[in-house]
């Protein structure tokens, strides 16, 4: 899954790109900004795979944005002015889209982003872009990157969920259990109770109706409704 950010001072232009991205299952837009200065801070502090960047913006142009970018992410320029194309490619941008942007041109740009990541023998992000999720926290505007192998278990808290990690962090986010079941790899994460998802990588032992995880003090309940699926997934590891 590619994670993207849109930066444009026109709300209508942002809406068009958001709608385009929503049509594609392999890219997710996690934030849109009309203020390029705020967007720059966000991109520099988070792991973003692609930025759809307007050029003519107040306070900071798209070129100024790229000059101040501290991380290596893929940039697609979006602008109403074709005369900037040559300058854009001096920054090694992935693509240059002229407004109004047709969907097929946008789709080709996203495919170019994918190709750059898959064709590189050493990914610029230094890691598999599919081995983590980005979640919005309870603090406004803050997103946290969580690697799959750092997740111990997830607990439902009514309208929120708490993601407990091997580092001892408890990250509160406005998601549902279904959101996470759908996103996490099913070979390693399984729901054991209506209120719990556990990582099988950190399973220590099972004691009747309770699960104990490595480096976790809490005992996770194994609900009757979920027992069959749980043991079916573990069957190939069982020594009888």
DSSP code per residue over the chain: -EEEEEE-S-HHHHHHHHHHHHT-TTEEEEEEES-HHHHHHHHHHS--SEEEEESS-SSS-HHHHHHH--S--EEEEEES-GGGHHHHHHTT-SEEEESSPPHHHHHHHHHHHHHHHHH-SS-TTSS-TTSEEEEEBSSTT-EEEEEGGGEEEEEEETTEEEEEETTS-EEEES--HHHHHHHS-TTTEEEEETTEEEEGGGEEEEETTEEEETT--SEEE--HHHHHHHHHHHGGG---
What is the structure's pLDDT at 143?
84
pLDDT, mean of residues 191-216: 89
Q: Is the dihedral of CA 212, 215, 217, 220 positive or negative?
A: negative
203/220 Cα distance (integer angstroms): 10
pLDDT given for residue 16 in this prediction: 97
Pull the structure tokens for residue 237: 């590891």
* 131 found inside a domain: no
Please tell me which residue, 186 or 53, carries the higher pLDDT value.
53
Q: Range of 82's domain? A: 2-119
Does the residue 13 lie in any domain? yes
Q: Is residue 126 part of a domain?
A: no
pLDDT band at 231 (very low <50, low <70, confident <90, very high): confident
Question: What mean pLDDT do residues 3-32 have?
Answer: 96
Distance CA 116, CA 72 (A): 12
Q: Report the share of the chain in percent with pLDDT over 90.
A: 50
In a domain, 85, yes or no: yes
| 132 within a domain of the structure (yes/no) | no
Q: Give yes or no for residue 123 having a pLDDT over 50.
A: no
Q: Are residues 23 and 115 in the same domain?
A: yes
Of residues 31 and 139, the one with the higher pLDDT is 31
What average pLDDT does range 169-198 have in this prediction? 88
How sure is the predictor about 27, in pLDDT bands with cuts at 50, 70 and 90?
Answer: very high
Amino acid 159: pLDDT: 80
Whether residues 26 and 72 share a domain: the answer is yes
Express each pLDDT in 57-113 by its tens digit.
Answer: 999 999 999 999 988 899 999 988 777 666 666 777 888 999 999 999 999 999 999
Residues 31 and 103 occupy one common structural domain = yes
| Average pLDDT of the segment spanning 25-45 | 95
pTM score, two decimals?
0.53
C-alpha radius of gyration, the chain, whole number:
21
- Averaged pLDDT, 32-52: 95
Do 86 and 18 sit in the same domain of this protein?
yes
Distance of CA 138 to the CA centre of its chain: 17
User: CA angle, corner 219, sides to 216 and 224, nearest 5?
Assistant: 140
User: Considering its fold, how many domains does the chain have in total?
Assistant: 2
CATH code, 171: 2.40.50.1020
Phi, psi of 158 (to 5 degrees): 60, -105
| Residue found under tokens 């720059």 | 40
Per the CB < 8 A criterion, the answer to whether 66 and 60 are in contact is no
**Torsion angle of the four alpha carbons 150, 153, 156, 160, in this order, in degrees rounded to the nearest 10:** -10
pLDDT for 92: 79
């Amino acid at each position: 899954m590619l994670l993207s950010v849109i930066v444009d001072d026109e709300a209508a232009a942002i809406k068009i790109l958001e709608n385009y991205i929503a049509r594609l299952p392999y890219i997710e837009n996690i934030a849109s900004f009309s203020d390029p200065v705020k967007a720059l801070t966000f991109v520099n502090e988070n792991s973003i795979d692609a930025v759809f960047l307007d050029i003519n913006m107040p306070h900071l142009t798209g070129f100024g944005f790229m000059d101040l970018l501290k991380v290596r992410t893929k940039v697609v320029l979006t602008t109403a002015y074709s005369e900037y194309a040559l300058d854009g490619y001096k920054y090694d941008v992935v693509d240059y889209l002229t407004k109004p942007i047709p969907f097929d041109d946008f789709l080709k740009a996203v495919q170019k982003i994918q190709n750059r990541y898959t064709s590189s023998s050493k990914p610029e992000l230094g890691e598999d872009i599919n081995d983590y999720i980005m979640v919005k926290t309870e603090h406004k505007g803050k997103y946290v990157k969580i690697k799959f192998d750092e997740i111990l278990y997830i607990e439902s808290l009514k309208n929120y969920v708490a993601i407990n990690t091997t580092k001892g962090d408890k990250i509160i986010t406005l998601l549902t259990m279904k959101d996470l079941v759908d996103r996490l790899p099913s070979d390693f994460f399984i729901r054991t109770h209506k209120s719990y998802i556990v990582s099988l990588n950190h399973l220590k032992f099972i004691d009747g109706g309770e699960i104990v995880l490595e480096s976790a003090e809490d005992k996770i309940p194994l609900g009757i409704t979920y027992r069959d699926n749980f043991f079916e997934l573990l069957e190939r590891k069982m020594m009888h």
